[in-house]
């Protein structure tokens, strides 16, 4: 009698070469891009010596590239921000390496401390600001590589002004 319960695996299934996937040299999924960012964050020797702080503008350095993607290192002194923007056709992973950054979106505000990650799709509008008292460093991975960063004007919220009610 054959049934699903009659199936037995003989030997070590990991020895069956056609069932194993070869490790990829470059990330191809969201999870792999987030994993790449975490591994770079964990190895300070890859980035710490490169960081510069500029009081006049955000500092940035392209750390590496791969097929279709770019990895950027940014530093933020207190008060510096990105302005409200999106990343055109690129998806991305933002990882805070040091310090605290604040992300503002239409859905609210979120403090991002060292180790925090944000994954976003094309068209995701946000503003990132260092409103802490210490500098911050972040890692940004874009796929495809960043070709545009359209700026957005903040929307003014309509506020009701109390006044007399007339009939």
Q: Which residues are annotated as a binding site for Fe cation?
A: 85, 87, 126
Distance CA 133, CA 165 (A): 46
Under 8 Å between Cβ of 68 and 125? no
3-state secondary structure of 26: coil
Annotated binding site: 85, 87, 126
Q: Which two tokens stand for residue 64?
A: 């590496």
Distance CA 64, CA 70 (A): 6
């Amino acid at each position: 009698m054959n049934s699903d319960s009659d199936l037995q695996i003989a030997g070590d299934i990991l020895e069956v070469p056609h069932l194993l996937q070869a490790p990829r040299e470059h990330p191809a999924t969201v999870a792999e891009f987030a994993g790449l960012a975490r591994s770079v964050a964990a190895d300070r020797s890859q980035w710490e010596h490169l960081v510069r702080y500029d009081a006049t503008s955000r500092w940035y350095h392209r750390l590496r590239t791969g097929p279709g993607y770019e990895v950027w290192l940014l530093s933020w002194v207190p008060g510096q921000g990105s302005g409200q923007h999106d990343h055109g056709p690129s998806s991305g992973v933002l990882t805070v390496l040091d310090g605290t950054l604040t992300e503002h979106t239409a859905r609210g505000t979120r403090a991002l401390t060292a180790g925090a990650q944000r994954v976003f799709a094309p068209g995701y509008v946000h503003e990132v600001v260092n409103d802490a008292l210490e500098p911050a460093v972040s890692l940004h991975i874009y796929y495809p590589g960043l070709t545009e960063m359209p700026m957005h004007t903040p929307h003014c919220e309509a506020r009701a002004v109390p006044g007399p009610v007339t009939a």
